[in-house]
Structure 1
């Protein structure tokens, strides 16, 4: 069983690389696209999304995506172009990453609230697209507690995903696929890569991060569980696009993603082993690690 564990010296070494040297740095596992700020980054990503749909429509192809309910800035540009340019989304299939659950493992009401990611997407994505252009409701695939195999089986039947558009967490989560924290159970990289849709408890570091971001560090305000698609579905993708513009929160995980071998301690590192086309889109601030400015020894 593969048990790759990173050392602090490895992490310090990657974090000490000046951002100006990242584009030409040997050993980088993913492609890198850098923009000066979040606004510019998200506009470019929204345009990239629109261009993929336009190209597939011209060729009479389906477009199959995995989408997150955050970040959502890129949807501003995408939905505007869809409406202005009359881009049909009738051949777009969307596999949504995850949904919050309460402490008893039940979903919250679907509404425009923090607890409902489906409600968030209805408000910031589907609800902003003209009806005659919009994604048919049956092509909006959410992980459901009453049929956890549906998304995985449908994805396999459809021949996989074209693009996964993903944010990542500070500890390397993708969707709510987090590092497994257990003294009693050890999961290998290969096992993790085969993970399917499942109900998970949110790791405490994720709850703290979400609470700090939105609720003044009131951890009880963050839902404790979620249902998430697994890596098996996402690793069927032709390409991964990471969208990371959160500044200091993500400076270290971006370095780990770029240079680490696969490890379940940071699940995001597993993806480049299985998907050939992986690109990190990020900002100058997010890639400018403070350890790269240190003059004293570690």
Structure 2
């Protein structure tokens, strides 16, 4: 399975469709759920997470997730329900997407800082859950440079993942599975889909986006490398929920998610070819696009 690079004509066409007409388009690659704003999306996502754990607990089966360290607003809703309703997370397994590394490919200190995704999750997720309900530490699976195959081995042992809760980058990254751009080798979609946990050097556009969003475009604050789970783990899932509610920054990638065939140019497009249930949850302003309002004929 392989597609060529997307053409600008394709992208312009997809971006020019009025948002009111998107759900009626033929051959959408994912389901599309549009809510009025980010708060509404994140509240619904947090409730979906809690409902899935409750359902599996009642069935006496484990819940297996892939979670990002961003977005995180949905975790507040989830944690509130866990503590209030006494929802046990003792049978929840979490595969964390990625972790930053320094320029030499080594982990940074675990702390409540931007550079530590594990620290971020401790602060906004694990650290807010009552101890008697919390996910056991051995079930919080982080990609590690000293045991790089562990996450893939555990995913296989557990029989795959239930849900990938996926934040998406503006150029289609999922975790740090970015578009491979090394001119010395080319990867097909099938090869990339089988990708395992690995150390990566971040693409320049991702570093620019992260630095602009958080640090006034101070590029030196962004670690240049990361360790990321590959698509091998994520494509074992029964469903994937794309969580995209950041407005203009993601308007184009949302259109590509909906219409594009699988391509390594936008890795997020690979998921619907392998995961049976994929939904894009987004907001009114994120799914809109300026090309759909562009004046023509003047």
Interval of TM-score (by shorter of Structure 1 and Structure 2)? over 0.9
The structural deviation recorded for 1:37 is 0.2
What is the aligned partner in structure 2 of residue 151 from structure 1?
Answer: 151
Distance in 1 (CA, whole Å) between partners of 2:83 and 2:183 is 51
The structural deviation recorded for 1:297 is 5.9
What is the aligned partner in structure 2 of residue 18 from structure 1?
Answer: 18
The structural deviation recorded for 1:184 is 1.3
- Trace 1:239-258 onto structure 2 (pairs within 5 A): 239-258=239-258
RMSD: 1.0
Distance in 2 (CA, whole Å) between partners of 1:3 and 1:146 is 35
The structural deviation recorded for 1:26 is 1.1
Normalising by structure 2, report the TM-score: 0.99
Residue 112 in structure 1 maps to residue 85 in structure 2: no
Q: Deviations over 1:207-258 (max 9, x none)?
A: 0000000000011111100000000110000000010001011000000010
- Secondary structure in 1 aligned to 2:61? coil
Distance in 1 (CA, whole Å) between partners of 2:221 and 2:214 is 9
Describe the shift of the 1:112–1:297 C-alpha distance in structure 2 as closer, same or farther (beyond 3 A). farther
Distance in 2 (CA, whole Å) between partners of 1:8 and 1:58 is 49
Q: Deviations over 1:48-69 (max 9, x none)?
A: 0000000000000100000000
Between 1:204-213 and 1:180-189, the stretch displaced more is 180-189
- Secondary structure in 2 aligned to 1:58? helix
What is the aligned partner in structure 2 of residue 277 from structure 1?
Answer: 277
> Are the equivalent residues in 2 in contact too, given 1:4–1:262 (CA < 8 A)?
no
Residue 56 in structure 1 maps to residue 56 in structure 2: yes
Normalising by structure 1, report the TM-score: 0.99
What is the aligned partner in structure 2 of residue 179 from structure 1?
Answer: 179
- Trace 1:1-298 onto structure 2 (pairs within 5 A): 2-296=2-296
Distance in 1 (CA, whole Å) between partners of 2:94 and 2:126 is 11
Give unmatched runs, 5+ long, in structure 1. Answer: none
Q: Deviations over 1:30-60 (max 9, x none)?
A: 0011100000110000000000000000000
The structural deviation recorded for 1:27 is 1.8
The structural deviation recorded for 1:2 is 2.6
Distance in 1 (CA, whole Å) between partners of 2:119 and 2:136 is 16
Q: Deviations over 1:112-163 (max 9, x none)?
A: 0000000000000000000000000000000000011000011011100000
Q: Deviations over 1:249-284 (max 9, x none)?
A: 100000001000000000000110001100000000
Distance in 2 (CA, whole Å) between partners of 1:29 and 1:297 is 31
The structural deviation recorded for 1:166 is 0.5
